[in-house]
Amino acid sequence: MPWYITGMKTQLVSSAALLLSAAALLAASAATQSQKTAKQPSGTASQEHKRPRGKASQGAATRKITCKTRENASLCYWAHGRLAVYNGNPSARIWKIGTHRILGVFSGPSHFPPKTNADGESPELPLSLERAYEADYRRWKQSDAKYYEFPLIFADFEVCPLEPEKKGEMQAVCIESATNILVQKSY
């Protein structure tokens, strides 16, 4: 029994040392990060995202409905999220990963507030997202699956708010561009 107690004391001391070293690394990392963010201009947490690396789609050049306009360009920001298709209006919604926020996707400021159900049922998306959906559909056609379900798409989205953010409510946005696209197929 004494060897068990001695072994436990040794294990507790080494565990405590490991936790202290992890805490020291975390504190050093936080200090470095706070120095970096202190140099950046202030804004809301969701709007501090810098543009992710990777080539963005040519949103404005290929869109029929403009998402980013002179009026809302300063409000646009990058968010990492999951785009999914739901029943209801709007059908395309982005969950901002790491938050409890849901963004309802519409084509653009000229289509919000929606005048018809079609304005929220099939919003215009950037070319990169349209290509991702088309490629997934072609793969499904070649598979043995009976029913097609829209895949989940994880990406860095450049979104432009179409209305102010309200706590506990879905916010209307349009997607200007998307990068780092990952399609999670369901078949």
Give which of 119, 101, 116, 118 is closest to 157, Cα–Cα.
101
* DSSP 3-state of 90: coil
* Residue 62 reports pLDDT greater than 70: no
* Residue 118 reports pLDDT greater than 90: no
β-strand pairing of 171-184 with 102-105: parallel
Spatial distance between the Cα atoms of 170 and 152, rounded to a whole number of angstroms: 19
Q: Which residue has the higher pLDDT, 64 or 169?
A: 169
Query: DSSP class of residue 71?
Result: T
Which residues are registered as beta bridge partners of 103? Answer: 94, 171
For range 52-63, the mean pLDDT: 49
Please provide the average confidence, as pLDDT, over all residues in the chain.
74
Spatial distance between the Cα atoms of 177 and 158, rounded to a whole number of angstroms: 5
What band does 21 get if pLDDT is binned at 50, 70 and 90?
very low
